[in-house]
Amino acid sequence: MMFGKTREQKELKNCFLPTLHVSGLPLLESEYCRIFFEEDGIIITTMGAYRKQFSLAYNKIVDFQLQSKKNVETTMVSNPGGAIAGAMLFGAPGAMLGGKAKKKEIISFENFLVVTYKKDNDLENLHFQLWKESGDCVSKYFGLANKLIEKYRPRTACPAPGASPVVEL
């Protein structure tokens, strides 16, 4: 069992989270970023032509949160094949029933990483949307983000799970 933990720790050491910037940095919304969890803090790098890099020490981080948002899109879909088959079997009434439009729901999820940190005496948030491959229902990076947060949480000013952060005002 010890070998498995060592292998997982090595895998977590050299990995990054591909994300899209939502807010909190002087970047465009939806700019592609990579978040690296280093030994002393997180490093956020952009991947555009004009690369930028931001670093945030763990001792300034108050909280990590993973959030999910469910999107439901309802569309009407008609069935021309059903109309033709209905017309052949039952005439005009069959065509109306067979070609009747039906509701179709498309459900998708968006996953976000929110980093709350101390800046001067205020709390600030960094919002990132976890990268999602086309066709994925849920980002495969959600599990990786959770593992990275759990590994590096003890180095932050985050409280223990279930406890509330205390911020001096």
Residue-wise pLDDT for 40-83, tens only, equals 899 999 987 788 999 999 989 988 888 888 777 777 666 677 66
Tell me where in the chain the CATH 2.30.29.30 domain(s) lie.
Answer: 2-71+110-155
> DSSP 3-state assignment of 160?
coil
- Is residue 20 within 8 Å of residue 32, measured between CB atoms? yes
Radius of gyration of the chain from Cα atoms? Answer: 24
User: What is the model's pLDDT at position 45?
Assistant: 94
- Is residue 16 within 8 Å of residue 46, measured between CB atoms? no
User: What is the model's pLDDT at position 32?
Assistant: 92
**pLDDT, tens digit (0-9, with 9 covering 90-100), for 11-46:** 566 678 899 999 999 998 889 999 999 988 999 999
Question: What pTM was estimated for this model as a whole?
Answer: 0.69
Question: Domain spanning 2-71+110-155 has what CATH number?
Answer: 2.30.29.30
Nearest Cα to 43, choosing from 59, 25, 57? 57
CA angle (160, 25, 22) in 5-degree steps: 80
Nearest Cα to 82, choosing from 100, 99, 107, 63? 99
**pLDDT, tens digit (0-9, with 9 covering 90-100), for 86-119:** 677 777 777 676 666 677 787 777 889 999 998 8
How many CA atoms lie within 13 Å of 126's alpha carbon, on the beta-carbon side?
26
- Tell me which residue has tokens 């895998």: 11
